[in-house]
Structure 1
């Protein structure tokens, strides 16, 4: 099975197009580095919970929403090598992010169940 990085990111509503443009540019670099698939999602049907929710996870401020994203890699070794190279890439490290990276939630995950239509 592949390796997955997941992200929840606070983004100002007014920065939606900047987020999309940034994602397209940076995601292309990650694809060149070996990522198999990248999905960037803008909140559409995200409810506010009573104890926890996506908004609380990123400490959403007025005028912000939450974006949910993931990157699929062939394996953790490919991901680790790519991240090492990307941290040396000035374009990756010096390009301003259209969101508050300090409130981004992220982590790497090992898939334990994978179901796809026609692959059950």
Structure 2
């Protein structure tokens, strides 16, 4: 498997809009081969002494943190999906995005240990 991880700030008052966008994006990711998509809205995000989720994305007052991940069968599927999604007009950024896209952080990860599902 291959995992993409994301941390991003959702703009004030945009939780419902973010959920709607996440559902739409998740369905598209599935069409391109994603096995699992998880979008988690902050519930207990604490301020750290040196760093934390808010500092990582330079969250501003009123913004909320989303931590999410996508599980792919392998890196090749993820890379191919990314190419196809970049060519897809549905993925074009718009002015009414419910999150601060310039402060989103993400990366791809090869699992080194898993337990459970």
When normalised by structure 1's length, the TM-score is 0.93
Q: What residue ranges of structure 2 are gaps of 5+ in the alignment?
A: none
CA distance in 1, matches of 2:77, 2:111: 15
Q: Secondary structure at the match of 1:19?
A: helix
More helix by share: 1
Shift of 1:98: 1.2
Shift of 1:97: 2.5
- Could you list the per-position Cα deviations for residues 67-103 of structure 1 after superposition, in whole angstroms to 9, with x for gaps in the alignment? 0000000000000000000000011125552111100
Preserved CA contact (<8 Å) 2:11 2:100: no
| Aligned length in residues | 116
CA distance in 1, matches of 2:68, 2:20: 14
The correspondence of residues 52-91 of structure 1 with structure 2, limited to 5 A, is 52-91=51-90
Q: Secondary structure at the match of 1:86?
A: helix
When normalised by structure 2's length, the TM-score is 0.95
Q: What residue ranges of structure 1 are gaps of 5+ in the alignment?
A: none
Which residue number in structure 2 is paired with residue 4 of structure 1? 3
CA distance in 2, matches of 1:50, 1:8: 19
